[in-house]
Amino acid sequence: MQQSLEDHAEHVVKLARDRHMTLATVESCTAGSLAHLLALAEGASEAVHGGFVVYTKENKIAAVGVPLDLLAKHSAVSADVALAMANGGLERCPASLVAAITGVAGPEPDEDGNPVGLVYVAVVARDGRQRVEKLELGNQSKGDICRAAVQAALRILEDLLAAHVP
């Protein structure tokens, strides 16, 4: 049986608390869903700083400092921009781990022609570790694409937390 997103978030927050690590998010297409899930978990106030919702390109630049030329060269839905979003979050908030999500939740392809269901998830740690994953989720509903993206971010956070021996 698949774990609910709520239970998964609860587990991730517990791992973070056990390791005295803290979490933050930088979200585009999921628009705060991951931050919200993490903040609802028990003990979140000790381990979840919050995050950034950067829905427009202008706000990716303004709020987390994604370079304009990166957006122009790779479009907002790319591994480079996902990593830049996560690193921008790391610079602008005190978390030990930052998860970033950028993608096309649909129902239409984005303005740069990226297809519905294309999502990049990046997680960076203050200790230098980083991971980026490309998801090709296809033409699912907006809700399903967001849930899959959030699930991937939780899984990567879990991996990086579990690999960190307190």
Cα torsion through 132, 137, 141, 147, rounded to 10: -40
CB of 73 to a copy of itself, least distance (A): 21
- Cβ nearer to a copy of itself, comparing 28 with 163: 28
- Cβ nearer to a copy of itself, comparing 28 with 78: 28
Say whether the peptide bond before residue 67 is cis (omega within 30 degrees of 0): no
Quote the CA–CA distance of 103 and 119 in Å, as a whole number: 4
- Cβ nearer to a copy of itself, comparing 4 with 162: 4
CB of 141 to a copy of itself, least distance (A): 12
User: What backbone phi and psi angles, to 5 degrees, belong to 123?
Assistant: -130, 130
The site for a copy of itself (CB under 8 A) is made up of 22, 24-25, 27-28, 31-33, 35-36, 39-40, 44-45, 48-56, 58-59, 62-63, 92-95
CB of 145 to a copy of itself, least distance (A): 13
Quote the CA–CA distance of 60 and 54 in Å, as a whole number: 5
